[in-house]
Chains A and B, each alone.
Chain A
Amino acid sequence: MECQEEKPIIYTMENKPIVTCAGDQGLFTSLYTSLAQQLPREPMEWRRTYGRAPKMIHLEANFVQFKEELLPKEGNKALLTFPFLHIYWTDCCDTEAYKSTVKEDMMRWQNSLRTHGSADWVIIVVETNDTKKKNKTNILPRSSIVDKIRSDFCNKQNDRCVVLSDPLKDSSRSQESWNSLLLKLRTLLLMSFTKNLGRFEDDMRTLREKRTQPGWSFCEYFMVQEELAFVFEMLQQFEDALVQYDELDALFTQYVLNFGAGDTANWLGSFCAPVRSWSGLLLRRPIDMEKRDGIQRGEASLLDLRSYLFSRQCTLLIFLQRPWEVTQRALELLHNCVQELRLLEVSVLEGALDCWVFLSCLEVLHRIEGCCDQAQLAANCSHTVGLWAYATDKLKSLGELCGLVSEKGPTSEDLNRTVDLLAGLGDERPETVNSLQSPYKKLKEALSSVEAFERHYLELSHAAMEMYRAIGRLRSARLVGKSLAEFYMRKGDRERAETFLQEALKSYVSEGWSLPVTHTRKQIAECQKLLGRTEDYLQTSALLAGDVNLTTEERKHFCQEILTFAGKSGDHSNKVTLSMGVFAQLTRLQFHPATASVHSGAILQVELTLRCLMPVSVHIQQVAASIHFDVDHGGTHGRSKGAQRQTNPGTVEFIQGNSSAGPPSSSAAGPSLELDEIQDRSPSDNSLNSTGVVCKNTHLIMRRHDSNSPPDTPNCVSPPTVAMKEGAQMLKVQDVKLEPGNNSIIFTAPSGQPGTYTLRQLCATVGQVQFVLPHIYPSVQYEVYSQEPQLTVEPLSEPLLAGLPQMVKFTLLTGHYAVKKGDALQLSNTDTMPILPSTSCTARTSNPAAELVGESVLSIQSSDKVTSISLPPTPPYHTLEFQLEVLCIIPSGSDRPANERLTNGEVRHRPRSYSHPDTPMTAIDQRMSIDCPWSIYSTLLALTFYIPFKTKHSLLSAGNRKYIQVCVQNVSDVNFTLAEVKLTEKQHASLELQSLNTKEQQLLCSKHSVFCLWEVRWKDDLPSCLQCVFSANFSPLNQDVSAFKPFHYQFQLERVTTLYSVRAEILPPAGEQHCRSGFLCGLEVCITRLTEPAEGEMAEESKTDTDGLKTTKLMYEVADSSSNWAVCGKSSGMVSMPMTANATHKVQIEVMPLFAGHLPFPKIKVLKYLPHTAAVAIQPDPDSCVENDSLSLLDKTLDDQGDTASIRSRGSVHSVGSGDQQQKGVAMPRLEPFSPGQVFNHSHARQVLVLPATDDHIMEVNAT
């Protein structure tokens, strides 16, 4: 801090508001110390004008002796020298003395104040006991002097006269008196501040409003407002002080901007003077009086004004403990000054501003370092780093300007320039003369020699980079690094330069900034070329040659660099391998044929689309793709795999990262899913076990994404080491000319061995240079397969109907087998499916692409056992198709031929008929055995035929007469015509079957039935067993007569003869003509034996009675299922029938009709009763009575008959239980039904009229 002895006003923060003291100086001096100490002790609230927030403020004062000169003259705007309060001190207690001298003195004092318009005064009367004691004689009441003074001076302002009692004593009274005095003084001071500052501010504003008037001067105004700032500073209101400077700053800035916009102010002229001094900021003095004087005189340059203004702001900010704002403002100021000088078109020596900025940066940094400790500095380097970087930048440009960066050193011109620049710095300021590291010294030293410059520049650069790194501003650090690299390049140190450039490039590439990438890469190329790093240089050149940001000329240049190198003749060790991506991009790959799957030996072409990035067309000696070969163990089934995998078969599109360092497209965020369908088939029958979808490139998709990892771009900073793997097989094309843009290259792929061929790498050779694509991704492969010949037979139309000629299609995939002339297929003939000879049978041959290549007529020769089909010669991997007509003979009924052997010795499989779940038709699997020329084994093929008909037969009786009915149901979807319906009996020639069918031909529509009826006539005896054959011819509707095919149905009827006739009569109650409901009537059942017992019957079920008469036991039962009748009493019973013709048995049963009307007769069943003694040897043949289930009969009739329940249960036990031993152990009687036709019921379906019981008025009507 400095002191100005000669000046009364001290421009430091030591300034205090001036308070003048008049009157008794001795008195004041005695009190001064405690007054000065105590005044600032308590804060006072300062209420402000213009809505400013009130502040608590500690008041201090500089007490000076009153002199008339101190009072401001009219028009004097000085505020610092302004006395804010005037005090008159007196300890007079003597009226006389007062009247004689003091009053007069006061009057004078008051007058001089009044003339200067100052109303801020106070009179302090000090009372001490000592003074009272001294003047005891003239003592007056204490108040009287004060009162006098008040009445004399304080006109209605009694507060302007204060009493201080016993100030030097340590009593409570004294303290109280002091306190009130201090309070009074503070209040008055504040009042004075408010009033005087307010007036000053008003004046200042008025002055500011005049700024548009000509003759207004910014410098003048500056001084006025700064006065206010000084006062605030004096009052320690630094914030307010700063506001004053900021306002001045803004005002000035606005003027400069207006100047730029064409609005010139006259006073700005002085600031437009050429800059002569660039000594930088000076922040070590609180007030730079030198500059301030310059401003006051209106001689300051722009830099002076700015420097002064900033130094004041800096001082205040540091008072406010905001050093980081200083650095921020400093950077803004420096930028601003440079711009303002440019805007005002001030002429500046080249480099002078750089000096100024450099010095200023360092000065600010020094100033900040001076008021902060190291830890603070380190923690806040984000605030200072800008200044460091700026200083670095400026030093670099100074170095360049002064020839300190070149390899040769400065020229004389450079030296002259340096001298001029140093001259503008002037002498070092006294403050820093003794400091070793002052900015001034640094700059002087740096400009003095190349070495010193390098030292200083590197020091600064590294400091800036370190700081940027420390705060994570890596981009900024790299930019500084890049600038450093440029320096190194100028110095010829390319190695270091490249390191920095590569680092910067990495960042630009990873973030996709194409222009910086191009620029930096160009610089790298220069380094690499000079360093002789051929491979790197060529790689970079290739990248640059394909860089669209460069001009065509530049690109051609770099392309030529590569071609020149490539053209150099040299030994092979000199070959250079570069990444393909920089030279050309593989965009598409197409297979011809598109399935990418051919049989061995076939031609497969691969078409590559290469997008050449070079600006000119390039002649390539060889393009080669290496192939990885996998023997395909999958064998013949590989064929479908290749085609399924690609959505667009045969074409693979390669998604590229963008050409040059464009933005990494969003697709680069992740590779797309590659899905593949998998099917797990059972190895035995090729049926599907499971199916699913698998992702083939999970390793790419599922990998962890590094948040910082740069997206993949082809522009790797340093090309990956690529090596061309020498594969056994290569696709090669010689001498290709690649034009800029898309080029198509066609390879013929090797397809010798069956297996999978994967394209791995691609390599383009240009002389000494090889461009290698190390991985072709997504992986591309094609398959070569070898296939066994395959013969399949399939129906031409579904379903194949048995009994009719049907076309079947034979398909022969020749596979690797070439069908020679004379090759024939040998079909073993079967009886059940003869192959129908046809006049013309053509075979169609088609190539693998399913194009028809030939047709020829087949010759078919049939012998007994074998049908031979001669095949036309067919090349491998072709398809041969022909059709044959076959007929599957419908198996007729119970035909059971013995197993036969086929011609080839195989056991003939009898076609088994079975019912198919999908169709009502019965299916027959018909197997074919074919001997093929390519195999020693027979090929077995199966065809499924469906029988279109279902046939049923039934025996009908009328008394002794017998009828046979056959029902043919058409279960197919085809309509047929039936003709020549015939029924024959095979064993009994005497038997005559008289047809009752009238129509010759019968239409049999789909899902309909035809019934045919024959009456059986016989001469002697009706055989108990009939072997019948139903035969008919059928053909699909509307077909020729020749199309009729026979249909046979064999069946056997047993126990045909009628043994018993049953007659029932219903007898009305006695005396009644008709039955009445609710009244009992009689049911007479008459069972008559019709025939003599046949032989078999005798043995089977008769027993000889004791009297020798042969009888058989029958059981009858009456049951009414429809609840029309109530059977009263026994409903069933046993009769013993003599086994003679016309033996009759009558049974009387009481029944009661339950309803009126024509009621059907109750049903009467007759069953065989086999007593327990009877041998149960013969089980009924299950085949013979399929339709008649004994159990169902029993169930139906015996259900709720209490008394027969035991029989039924016993019977059921027997019919179900099947062990003979069980029967022997517990011999039980059992029931057996008669075969249909053995019992004829005369009264079947007869009805009887039943009258209502009484005149029943209730009639039940059922309307349905």
Chain B
Amino acid sequence: MAVCIAVIAKENYPLYIRSVPTQNELKFHYTVHTSLDVVEEKISAVGKSLGDQRELYLGLLYPTEDYKMFRKLHNSFTDVMCNPFHNPGDTIQSKAFDGIVSGMMVQTG
């Protein structure tokens, strides 16, 4: 279960970001943004190690006392990118993607 799901472009801007307790949205944005530090570190580490170790799961990105952050959600993203009408680099506006994200999130009022 997730509280906040973000898809980040390789230039580090958010392609998609959604969080469940909406009142805390700003905090999530800050947190996700900061966690990019670790993402960058891990990705560059993958680049360094030789061979094709394409571990897509990056593990714990930014530990906080409130939530744990991971990187997941790849298949659905692939689907979005396969949409011929989607311009890579644009923000994601897809109902299907929204639905999948909602499924991953905690449904709290």
Closest Cβ of chain B to A511, distance in Å, is: 4
Contact A479 B65 (CB under 8 A): no
A1246 contacts B by Cβ under 8 Å: no
Residues of chain A contacted by B41 (CB below 8 angstroms): 382, 471-473
Contact B33 A475 (CB under 8 A): yes
Residues of chain A contacted by B37 (CB below 8 angstroms): 468, 472-476
A512 with B14: in contact, given A335-B64, A473-B38, A474-B37 (CB under 8 Å)? yes
Task: List the A residue with the shortest CB-CB distance to B87.
Answer: A666
Interface residues of A in 929-972 (CB under 8 A from B): none
Contact A663 B64 (CB under 8 A): no
Contact A512 B63 (CB under 8 A): no
Interface residues of A in 448-483 (CB under 8 A from B): 468, 471-476, 479
Closest Cβ of chain B to A1143, distance in Å, is: 103
Contact B29 A511 (CB under 8 A): no
Interface string of B77-90 (1 = CB under 8 A from A): 00000000001111
A711 contacts B by Cβ under 8 Å: yes
Contact B63 A513 (CB under 8 A): no
Contact B26 A663 (CB under 8 A): no
Residues of chain B contacted by A338 (CB below 8 angstroms): 65
Query: With A and B bound together, what is the CA distance between A663 and B9 in angstroms?
Result: 9
Residues of chain B contacted by A479 (CB below 8 angstroms): 30, 33-34
Query: With A and B bound together, what is the CA distance between A334 and B63 in angstroms?
Result: 10
Chain A CB within 10 Å — which of B26, B29, B88 has the most?
Answer: B29
Contact B90 A663 (CB under 8 A): yes
Contact A516 B88 (CB under 8 A): no
Residues of chain B contacted by A515 (CB below 8 angstroms): 25-26, 29
Interface residues of B in 67-109 (CB under 8 A from A): 87-91
A331 contacts B by Cβ under 8 Å: yes
Closest Cβ of chain B to A331, distance in Å, is: 6
Residues of chain A contacted by B66 (CB below 8 angstroms): 339
B46 contacts A by Cβ under 8 Å: no
Task: List the B residue with the shortest CB-CB distance to A710.
Answer: B11
Interface size on A, residues (CB 8 A): 31
Closest Cβ of chain B to A661, distance in Å, is: 9
Query: With A and B bound together, what is the CA distance between A515 and B38 in angstroms?
Result: 21
A657 contacts B by Cβ under 8 Å: no
Query: With A and B bound together, what is the CA distance between A479 and B11 in angstroms?
Result: 19
Residues of chain A contacted by B25 (CB below 8 angstroms): 515
Contact B13 A663 (CB under 8 A): yes
Query: With A and B bound together, what is the CA distance between A395 and B27 in angstroms?
Result: 19
Interface string of A51-89 (1 = CB under 8 A from B): 000000000000000000000000000000000000000
Residue in contact with A339 in the complex, picked from B11, B13, B65, CB distance below 8 Å: B65
Query: With A and B bound together, what is the CA distance between A669 and B13 in angstroms?
Result: 13
Query: With A and B bound together, what is the CA distance between A519 and B33 in angstroms?
Result: 14
A719 contacts B by Cβ under 8 Å: no
Closest Cβ of chain A to B20, distance in Å, is: 15
Chain A CB within 10 Å — which of B11, B25, B34 has the most?
Answer: B34
A508 contacts B by Cβ under 8 Å: yes
Contact A475 B11 (CB under 8 A): no
Interface size on B, residues (CB 8 A): 26
Task: List the B residue with the shortest CB-CB distance to A658.
Answer: B91
Closest Cβ of chain A to B107, distance in Å, is: 16
Chain A CB within 10 Å — which of B33, B40, B66 has the most?
Answer: B33
Closest Cβ of chain A to B62, distance in Å, is: 9
Closest Cβ of chain A to B60, distance in Å, is: 8
Residues of chain A contacted by B91 (CB below 8 angstroms): 662-663
Closest Cβ of chain A to B47, distance in Å, is: 14
Task: List the A residue with the shortest CB-CB distance to B37.
Answer: A473
Contact B88 A666 (CB under 8 A): yes
A666 with B89: in contact, given A473-B37, A512-B14 (CB under 8 Å)? yes
A2 contacts B by Cβ under 8 Å: no
Query: With A and B bound together, what is the CA distance between A513 and B91 in angstroms?
Result: 12
Interface string of A1088-1106 (1 = CB under 8 A from B): 0000000000000000000
Residues of chain A contacted by B11 (CB below 8 angstroms): 511-512, 664, 711
A332 contacts B by Cβ under 8 Å: yes
B36 contacts A by Cβ under 8 Å: yes
B15 contacts A by Cβ under 8 Å: yes
Contact A511 B33 (CB under 8 A): yes
Closest Cβ of chain B to A390, distance in Å, is: 8
Query: With A and B bound together, what is the CA distance between A334 and B64 in angstroms?
Result: 9
A664 with B29: in contact, given A335-B63, A339-B65 (CB under 8 Å)? no
Query: With A and B bound together, what is the CA distance between A666 and B13 in angstroms?
Result: 11
Task: List the B residue with the shortest CB-CB distance to A664.
Answer: B13
Residues of chain B contacted by A669 (CB below 8 angstroms): 89
A332 with B63: in contact, given A663-B9, A666-B90, A711-B11 (CB under 8 Å)? yes
Query: With A and B bound together, what is the CA distance between A512 and B40 in angstroms?
Result: 16
Residue in contact with B15 in the complex, picked from A331, A386, A472, A663, CB distance below 8 Å: A663
Contact A513 B33 (CB under 8 A): yes
Chain A CB within 10 Å — which of B12, B29, B41, B65 has the most?
Answer: B65
Query: With A and B bound together, what is the CA distance between A334 and B36 in angstroms?
Result: 22
Residues of chain A contacted by B13 (CB below 8 angstroms): 511-513, 663-664
Chain A CB within 10 Å — which of B14, B30, B66, B90 has the most?
Answer: B30
Query: With A and B bound together, what is the CA distance between A338 and B36 in angstroms?
Result: 24
Closest Cβ of chain A to B92, distance in Å, is: 10
Interface residues of A in 854-891 (CB under 8 A from B): none
Residues of chain B contacted by A411 (CB below 8 angstroms): none
A665 contacts B by Cβ under 8 Å: yes
Residues of chain A contacted by B40 (CB below 8 angstroms): 472
Closest Cβ of chain A to B33, distance in Å, is: 5
Contact A334 B89 (CB under 8 A): no
Interface residues of B in 1-38 (CB under 8 A from A): 9, 11-15, 25-26, 29-30, 33-34, 36-38
Task: List the B residue with the shortest CB-CB distance to A668.
Answer: B89
Residues of chain A contacted by B90 (CB below 8 angstroms): 663, 665-666
Interface string of A361-403 (1 = CB under 8 A from B): 0000000000000000000001000100000000000000000
Residue in contact with A513 in the complex, picked from B14, B38, B88, CB distance below 8 Å: B14
Residues of chain B contacted by A512 (CB below 8 angstroms): 11-14
Contact A516 B30 (CB under 8 A): yes
Residues of chain A contacted by B64 (CB below 8 angstroms): 335
A331 with B63: in contact, given A512-B13, A515-B25, A515-B26 (CB under 8 Å)? yes
Residues of chain B contacted by A516 (CB below 8 angstroms): 26, 29-30, 33
Task: List the B residue with the shortest CB-CB distance to A518.
Answer: B26
Query: With A and B bound together, what is the CA distance between A331 and B25 in angstroms?
Result: 24
Closest Cβ of chain A to B83, distance in Å, is: 15
Query: With A and B bound together, what is the CA distance between A331 and B36 in angstroms?
Result: 19
Task: List the B residue with the shortest CB-CB distance to A512.
Answer: B13
Contact A475 B36 (CB under 8 A): yes
Residues of chain B contacted by A472 (CB below 8 angstroms): 37, 40-41
Query: With A and B bound together, what is the CA distance between A1150 and B37 in angstroms?
Result: 118
Interface string of A902-934 (1 = CB under 8 A from B): 000000000000000000000000000000000
Query: With A and B bound together, what is the CA distance between A473 and B34 in angstroms?
Result: 8
Task: List the B residue with the shortest CB-CB distance to A337.
Answer: B65
Closest Cβ of chain B to A401, distance in Å, is: 16
Query: With A and B bound together, what is the CA distance between A338 and B26 in angstroms?
Result: 22
Interface string of A732-757 (1 = CB under 8 A from B): 00000000000000000000000000
Interface string of B46-65 (1 = CB under 8 A from A): 00000000000000000111
Query: With A and B bound together, what is the CA distance between A511 and B11 in angstroms?
Result: 7
5 other A-B residue contacts (CB within 8 Å) besides A474-B37, A663-B91: A335-B65, A468-B37, A479-B30, A512-B13, A513-B33
| A-B contacts, 28 listed (Cβ < 8 Å) | A338-B65, A339-B65, A357-B65, A468-B37, A471-B41, A472-B40, A474-B37, A475-B33, A508-B33, A511-B11, A511-B12, A512-B13, A512-B14, A513-B33, A515-B25, A515-B26, A516-B26, A516-B33, A519-B26, A662-B91, A663-B89, A663-B90, A664-B13, A665-B89, A666-B87, A666-B89, A669-B89, A711-B11
Which 4 residue pairs of A and B lie closest in terms of their CB atoms, listed nearest first? A512-B13, A666-B89, A473-B37, A515-B29
Interface residues of A (CB under 8 A from B): 331-332, 334-335, 338-339, 357, 382, 386, 468, 471-476, 479, 508, 511-513, 515-516, 519, 662-666, 669, 711
